[in-house]
Amino acid sequence: MLERGAPAVLRMDNGPEFISKELENWVSEQELVQAFIPAGQPWHNGFVESLHNRMRDELFEDNLFYDIEDARAGLTWWSHRYNNEHPHSSLGYMTPNAFADQWKKENEMETAQVAGA
């Protein structure tokens, strides 16, 4: 939020990966719109489901964490790899950060025009 601003809508489900009550409270405090995905319908949120499946397969099923700091270190490593080193077919085999940088460069003029309007 500090880097890119608050989302207009926070879309989430009530699955075990989330601490839904805490998110619900935070969304209310931030005065954001909540969009809950109906239980048992993960196809409504394919991108997040895909991320969770990949994280489960590549991180959680292969590692034993000894404490919260160990889990944080593992998640930090995995997130860095996922965003900076692992090419994604849906992004034209670019990493997410490379794709975001390319998008910013391509849309820099449009963004400046909208901001100045």
Distance CA 115, CA 117 (A): 6
Give the per-residue pLDDT at 111. Answer: 62
Give the per-residue pLDDT at 1. Answer: 74
Q: What is the pLDDT along the chain (117 residues), one digit of tens a residue?
A: 777 777 777 766 666 555 667 777 777 787 777 666 666 665 556 677 778 888 989 999 989 999 999 999 999 999 999 999 999 888 899 999 999 999 999 888 766 666 665
Give the per-residue pLDDT at 96. Answer: 92
Those residues whose C-beta lies under 8 Å from the C-beta of residue 93, and which sit 6 or more positions away, are: 87
